Amino acid sequence: MESDEEEEYTLQGPVDDEGFPHGHCTLAYTSGDKFEGHFDHGAKSGKGCFHFYDGSKLEGVFDGGMLQGKGLYTYEDGSVLKGVYVDGELNGPAEEFNSEGQLTFRGQYSNGVKCGFCWIYSADGGCICGDVNDEGEMSGNDIAYIYPDMKLALIGSFVDGEMVKGKLAEVVGINQDRPQFKMVSDGGIFKCDVSTSNSISSDLQLPDPYEQQMVYVGASTIQGASEGLFMKVPVKEDKVVAFYNGLRLTHAEVDARDWSKNGNTISLDEEIVIDVPPPFDDTKHYCASLGHKVNHSFSPNSKYDLFQHPRFGFIKCIRTIKPVSADEELTVEYGYDHHGCGVDNPDAPDWYKEQMKSLKGKN
């Protein structure tokens, strides 16, 4: 990247007496990369920017042909890395942000590799922190996943950010950017336990500790519903309160079934549907997650959202969209397809169609 002599380029801009770039120039390399900035007798000097063939770019101040000091790398997807460069390599503090401006990484680099104590943030509000290994991976025996409330954590063995085994702890403070923990006795042992098409969990009765502090199952206040999910504590809007784990099926498998078998299904992505079939819909048989207990409403107080869980993997969660009081029932808009069969005849179970007709009658 820094050695212009090793790659052919086309020059636009002034040159010195020996034909080297001098002043503000643009170099278009045969690789498709481009550099635009100031040169001093052939060496990049001052503000400049590399535009790479894949759409990413690196900008900052160059000295002696190399990037020095603060630099900004923008990935092709719009996410950015802000860091300190020494002789063209990341060396020092750095932060990364996704394309929406949310912080995704905070820590240190040494010779272009993450080092020391680092934080990796998920868009859902959770984070992983600890000392990375020599390869810059979040691997070790003292790594912590911290839930979105920044109060509860699972501490233990991780390999490249994936939990192998963790124990419950409380976050009691932050000292020099390192969280301080207090282990919870008899808090259970947790591991990465991503469901499959025939296994919902290896420990059906081990509740999620964060969810356990947030919600409880009770008799629903909604007509025709049996059980529902209620808040234990009051929460503000935009708060993750429960998790929706289940068997992982394909859309084709679910679409081929009768609606009577799809009472607890939710689309995860274009390929996977999460399902909590009998007997797992009964907390006597499964209580590791409770998101499937949330009932439908056309005036909901919550929504489904994506979540990267340390135990369940990539799942859905329940996130509030307005303040919810203690003992108030959580509701979401189930979001059945109103277009495939017509706006007034959605592809949905009968009870949903009846509720929709009743709502339109009131209006």
Return d(Cα 78, Cα 46) in angstroms, integer.
Answer: 24
Task: List helix spans (H) across 144-266.
Answer: 209-214, 251-255
Q: What sign does the dihedral 318-214-165-179 (CA atoms) show?
A: positive
292 is an active site residue: yes
334 is an active site residue: yes
Closest alpha carbon to 210 in 309, 330, 332: 309
- Residue 27 makes CB contacts below 8 A (sequence gap 6+) with 4, 9, 10, 11, 12, 21, 34, 35, 36
244 is an active site residue: yes
| Long-range contact pairs involving 248-254 (C-beta distance under 8 Å, separation at least 24) | 248/195, 248/196, 248/197, 248/272, 248/273, 248/274, 248/275, 249/197, 249/273, 249/274, 249/275
Quickly count helices (H) and strands (E) in the chain: 3, 26
Q: What sign does the dihedral 231-232-238-240 (CA atoms) show?
A: negative
Distance from the first to the final alpha carbon of the chain: 65
Query: Which one of 296, 309, 336, 339 is the catalytic residue?
Result: 296
CA dihedral 174, 176, 178, 182 (to 10 degrees): -40
Tell whether omega for the bond before 279 is within 30 degrees of 0, i.e. cis.
yes
Element (H, E) at 357: helix 350-362
Query: Which one of 29, 334, 336, 352 is the catalytic residue?
Result: 334
Query: Which one of 22, 147, 304, 309 is the catalytic residue?
Result: 304
Return d(Cα 26, Cα 38) in angstroms, integer.
Answer: 9
Query: Which one of 22, 38, 51, 292 is the catalytic residue?
Result: 292
Which amino acid does the sequence have at 6? E
Phi and psi at residue 48, in whole multiples of 5°? -160, 165
Cβ–Cβ < 8 Å for 206, 190: yes
Query: Which one of 73, 109, 121, 244 is the catalytic residue?
Result: 244
Record the tokens describing residue 146, joined without a space: 């911290």
Element (H, E) at 205: none
Residues across the chain:
363
Record the tokens describing residue 266, joined without a space: 């939710």
| Catalytic site positions | 244, 292, 296, 304, 334
